[in-house]
Amino acid sequence: MKNVKIIGITGGIGSGKSIVCKVFALLGVPIYESDSKAKYLMNNDEYLIKTLKKTFGNEIYNDNRELNRRFIIENIFKDNQKTLLLNSVVHPKVAQDFIDWQDKHQNFEYLLNESALLFESGSYKRMDKVVTIFAPLEIRKKRINSRDKQRTEQEIDNIIKKQLPEEEKKERADFIIENDDKKALLPQILQLHYLLRHLK
């Protein structure tokens, strides 16, 4: 079986991961969206649903069996130990799901694994290379406020605090995409696409 290259792509909330990944997708690169897949599995995987209810109580789901977002924000994400416990339950399921997805996408030059918590979860260790998307904090907050009007300033700050500082992400990444509203995004992505295709 071909050993396809796995490229991790990360960045703090509001850095622009979604738009960058959309461009890579248009270039024909398969993308595994870890955060979206985690939510999907938490809503659809019966083993995971049972485990989460047993661990955090039935309140973690609404009456319609969907994740209770408000309960998670107010009762889990505000508690570091509970957040770590939640991740310890969900991350192994996502990791296995990625392996299954990777096996079905071997005939490509490289694959992208997008995750906001690539470094924090330790999954960067399974990547061949890591790309981080960088944007200054004030720009990120402006984007979040415009996009996620339901979030309070406190919720946004709590999310940012749980993520690795951007400067540390830049130091640990192999490639950096600057998304600061000054440097053109598309030429950076096209250049990186070329480099990743020819990566040895």
CATH number, domain at 172? 3.40.50.300
Q: Specify the pTM.
A: 0.87
Last-in-domain residue among 67, 82, 104: 104
Q: Could you tell me the residue range of the domain that residue 65 belongs to?
A: 35-104
Q: Are 94 and 177 part of one and the same domain?
A: no
Q: Structural domain tally of the chain?
A: 2
Choosing from 104, 137, 163, the residue where a domain stops is 104
98/192 same-domain check: no
Do 25 and 44 share a domain, yes or no?
no
pLDDT, tens digit (0-9, with 9 covering 90-100), for 135-176 = 998 898 888 888 887 777 877 787 888 788 888 999 999 999
User: Percent of the chain beyond pLDDT 70?
Assistant: 99
Cα angle 120, 146, 117 (rounded to 5 degrees) comes to 10
pLDDT in tens, the chain (200 residues): 457 999 999 998 899 999 999 999 999 999 999 989 999 999 999 999 999 999 999 999 998 889 998 899 888 988 889 988 999 999 999 999 999 999 999 999 999 999 988 998 888 999 999 999 999 988 988 888 888 877 778 777 878 887 888 889 999 999 999 999 899 999 999 999 999 999 87
Question: Domain check: are 53 and 71 in the same one?
Answer: yes
Which region, left, alpha or beta, applies to residue 113 given φ > 0 means left and ψ of -120 to 50 means alpha?
Answer: beta
Give the CA-trace dihedral at 128, 184, 17, 175, to 10 degrees.
Answer: 20
Gap between the Cα atoms of 155 and 152, Å rounded: 5
